[in-house]
Amino acid sequence: MISALKGTWALMLGVLLLQLGNGLQGTLLGVRGSLESIEPATMGYIMSGYFVGFLGGSKITPELIRRVGHVRVFAALGSLVSAVFILYALWVNAYYWFVLRVLVGLCFSGLYVVAESWLNDSADNETRGTLLSVYLIAQMIGIISGQMLLNIADPAGHVLFIVISVAVSVSFFPILLSVSPAPFFHAAKPLTIRELFHASPLGVVGTLLIGAIFSALFGMSAVYASEVGYSVAQVSYFIAAIYVGGLVLQYPIGWLSDRMDRRRLIILCSLIGALTALVPIMMPVNLLGLLMIAFFVGGMANPLYSLLIAHTNDFLEREQMAAASGSLLFVNGVGAMGGPIIVGYIMNQAGAQGFFMFILGIFGAIVLYGIYRMTRRQTNDETVPLMATLPSRGSAVFAELATEVVIDEMEHAEEEQLRDGSNGTDAERQ
């Protein structure tokens, strides 16, 4: 493990800095939009631009890599996104910000593809799972640290935009100087949505809905906290709590997923998320209460993505899993595009609490559809391991890499069973 990390520490550091800048820019725009009196509905459209660009970038980047290679694509997209972060501060205009958000989403989608291709090239069967876990932890540390940087300068000024531009620019230094030669790029041909839906209706519908929750948390949580009237520091704590919850509760839920019907666990997590979101709607809460709510909402939402993919894989052949992960990532992105827009409209009509009304509604829809699906099909006793390290914001490259870990675990478990069975037979003969 140590040797694997020695070869990838520069990549992990670069990813941490990338996410530091990316995490801060979403929160900063939400706070700045509130300070500039931009309506939540308008901010919803602005925030959705990131997910529009991200989905588009996932289609464009592979062709760019085939034409000019990993290094040039990485350098070009990195330079563009660093410049865009500075350009935010030049003009406060909804249409202008939307275009910049689209560019940022497109660039980050491409940067993930390139970085995760290098990660894939650095991994082997023994180190793949460890590297994926460290990669996820680096991402989460970067996002959480980015929230804390919100407190170092006035969001109404231009300093924080410079900070995120510098963080992204510096992230390229260790990556470009230390990575191995550019790997061969390959992506599995995705399954069609119809094929996926036939295999697992709950997996497809749930992934679409959880994408809407992710985008609401990622794009509109700062808008909500600002509309409620929290200070800049309190906004940063609120958003950090969402990601801390996702990081801390991912593994206990993953442990449970191998010991109970995954559909029941999906319903349970969604129900807890819905009830948690109901609390601030029904009664006033103080800052500590809001942080606990953010912790559990994020803690339920983040593992659900991995649970839904694992549930889908339970009904697929092994050779279909990599293709399915890429298709589900696309479905998740489609759901993410609409999340901020719908949240913004609800907040315009119902006030700031419309943020939690939306989250309550989406979690509730997953609960109801999950219950319905349990009446239509028996559970599959042959379950696959949970991809607990799978982030919703990764690329198809990472999704396939995580799928390979799952397949390796399944093959290893089968070998152990065969070995134990063989030993048992030998003992009986003796």
Rounded-to-integer distance, Cα 146 and Cα 81, Å: 16
Rounded-to-integer distance, Cα 90 and Cα 96, Å: 10
Backbone angles phi, psi at 84, to 5 degrees: -60, -40
Most confident of the ranges 79-83, 88-92, 121-125, 360-364: 360-364
Q: Is residue 390 pLDDT above 50, yes or no?
A: no
Q: Is residue 91 pLDDT above 70, yes or no?
A: yes
Rounded-to-integer distance, Cα 212 and Cα 47, Å: 12
Query: Contact at 8 Å (CB) between 250 and 302?
Result: yes
Residue 277 makes CB contacts below 8 A (sequence gap 6+) with 293, 297, 356, 357, 359, 360, 363
Q: Is residue 404 pLDDT above 80, yes or no?
A: no
Most confident of the ranges 11-15, 316-320, 421-425: 11-15
Most confident of the ranges 34-38, 59-63, 136-140, 377-381: 34-38
Most confident of the ranges 13-27, 122-136, 335-349, 413-427: 335-349
Structure tokens at 412: 């290893």
Q: Is residue 408 pLDDT above 80, yes or no?
A: no
Q: What is the pLDDT of residue 95?
A: 94
CA distances from 178 to 18, 21, 168, 354 (A): 16, 21, 17, 46
Residue 257 banded pLDDT, cuts 50, 70, 90: confident
Structural domains in the chain, sorted by start: 2-418 (1.20.1250.20)
Rounded mean pLDDT, 107-126: 76
Structure tokens at 126: 């023994």
Query: Contact at 8 Å (CB) between 136 and 116?
Result: no
CA distances from 323 to 165, 237, 337, 400 (A): 35, 38, 22, 8
Q: Is residue 331 pLDDT above 60, yes or no?
A: yes
What's the chain's average pLDDT? 84
Residue 107 makes CB contacts below 8 A (sequence gap 6+) with 53, 57, 77, 78, 80, 81, 84
Q: What is the pLDDT of residue 185?
A: 56
Q: Is residue 384 pLDDT above 60, yes or no?
A: no
Q: What is the pLDDT of residue 389?
A: 46
Q: Is residue 297 pLDDT above 60, yes or no?
A: yes
Q: What is the pLDDT of residue 323?
A: 72
Q: How many residues does the chain have?
A: 430
Rounded-to-integer distance, Cα 361 and Cα 110, Å: 32
Q: What's this model's pTM, rounded to 2 decimal places?
A: 0.85
CB atoms within 10 A of CB 264: 14
pLDDT digits (tens, 9 = 90+) for 189-238: 667 888 889 888 999 999 999 999 999 998 899 999 999 999 999 999 99
Q: What is the pLDDT of residue 401?
A: 62
Q: What is the pLDDT of residue 316?
A: 80
Closest of 257, 19, 21, 241 to residue 135, by C-alpha:
19
Q: What is the pLDDT of residue 379?
A: 66
Q: What is the pLDDT of residue 2?
A: 61
Q: Can you give the chain as a three-state secondary structure string?
A: CHHHHHHHHHHHHHHHHHHHHHHHHHHHHHHHHHHCCCCHHHHHHHHHHHHHHHHHHHHHHHHHHHHHCHHHHHHHHHHHHHHHHHHHHHCCCHHHHHHHHHHHHHHHHHHHHHHHHHHHHHCCCCCHHHHHHHHHHHHHHHHHHHHHHCCCCCCCCCHHHHHHHHHHHHHHHHHHHHCCCCCCCCCCCCCCHHHHHHHCHHHHHHHHHHHHHHHHHHHHHHHHHHHHCCCHHHHHHHHHHHHHHHHHHHHHHHHHHCCCCHHHHHHHHHHHHHHHHHHHHHCCCCHHHHHHHHHHHHHHHHHHHHHHHHHHHCCCCHHHHHHHHHHHHHHHHHHHHHHHHHHHHHHHHHCCCHHHHHHHHHHHHHHHHHHHHHCCCCCCCCCCCCCCCCCCCCCHHHHHHHHHHHHHHHHHHHHHHHHHHHHHHHHHHC
Q: Is residue 413 pLDDT above 70, yes or no?
A: no
Residue 153 banded pLDDT, cuts 50, 70, 90: very high
pLDDT digits (tens, 9 = 90+) for 318-330: 777 767 777 888 8
Rounded mean pLDDT, 347-354: 94
